[in-house]
Amino acid sequence: MDIQAKLTGFAMLGATWVMWVLVGLSVGGLAVALDRAVYLLRTSDNVRQLKKEILTFLKRGQLAAARQRLAKSRSFEARIVASTLESPEDGAASAEERMAGATQGAKLQMERRLAFLGTLGANAPFIGLLGTVIGIIRAFAELNGAAGKVTSGLMTEVGEALVATAIGILVALPAIAFFNGFQRVIKTRLTRAEGFGREVMAYLKAERTPS
């Protein structure tokens, strides 16, 4: 049996299994999306209010109070800014390096499992296309068996082929939307945290600069 015959025999198993694979992947994608949404909500805070409080503490010279307030916050923004206040006596360059390290760590934690959504969004249409190819092969086999006549079996195979493509697209679209949405949220939060941290470092620089 040559390779073509083997592939044809495999295709004759039908495209139903492809659809079930897509359904399983869609459930996995939804689970990841819900997990990341809950996680990002649980690690968020009113950063504008937090920034106002921290800068007020620093202007009053209450460095310990600023650290305590940041420690109480559950947000990644607070963790990143807190890294700049760990050892202010080391200077701004050291604080900037610590903030960069904290930013990378926060980014990795927030992006956890998002690669699955990106991969699913990029490849689900191709999995659906595989189901379509299988359905078309079965449709040609049905057409050959019916001596070129259009039968209900032929139409069933064609319909199954088209449904496979549709399911692949329907699985991909939400995955891409969630992936892009989460990436946008993460980028915004990290940018906000960096701006906040630089304001804190600017204040520390001013404090260390002799008048």
**pLDDT confidence of residue 119:** 94
From first to last of its 211 residues, what are the pLDDT tens digits of the chain? 455 555 455 444 556 778 888 989 999 999 999 999 999 999 998 989 999 999 999 888 888 899 999 999 999 999 999 988 887 676 677 888 889 899 999 999 999 999 999 999 999 999 888 888 887 777 666 666 655 555 565 566 666 777 888 889 999 999 999 999 999 999 999 999 999 988 888 887 766 554 4
Q: What is the CA radius of gyration of the chain?
A: 28
Instruction: Map out the domains of the chain as residue ranges.
Output: 3-112+125-208
**pLDDT confidence of residue 19:** 82
Supply 73's token pair. Answer: 């916050």
Nearest to 73 by CA among 52, 95, 100, 101: 52
3-state secondary structure of 172: helix
Helices (H), 60-151: 63-72, 76-84, 92-110, 114-145
Query: Which residues, in sequence order, are CB contacts of 122 under 8 Å at separation 6+?
Result: 172, 176
Dihedral over alpha carbons 117, 118, 120, 121 (to 10 degrees)? 110
DSSP type of residue 204: H
First to last CA, the chain: 89
> Which amino acid, one-letter code, is at 93?
A
CA-to-CA distance for 4 and 2, rounded, in angstroms?
6
| Count of helices and strands (H, E) across the chain | 8, 0
**pLDDT confidence of residue 208:** 57
CA-to-CA distance for 103 and 121, rounded, in angstroms?
27
Interior/surface letters 179-192, b for 16+ CB within 10 angstroms, e for the rest: beebeeebeebbeb
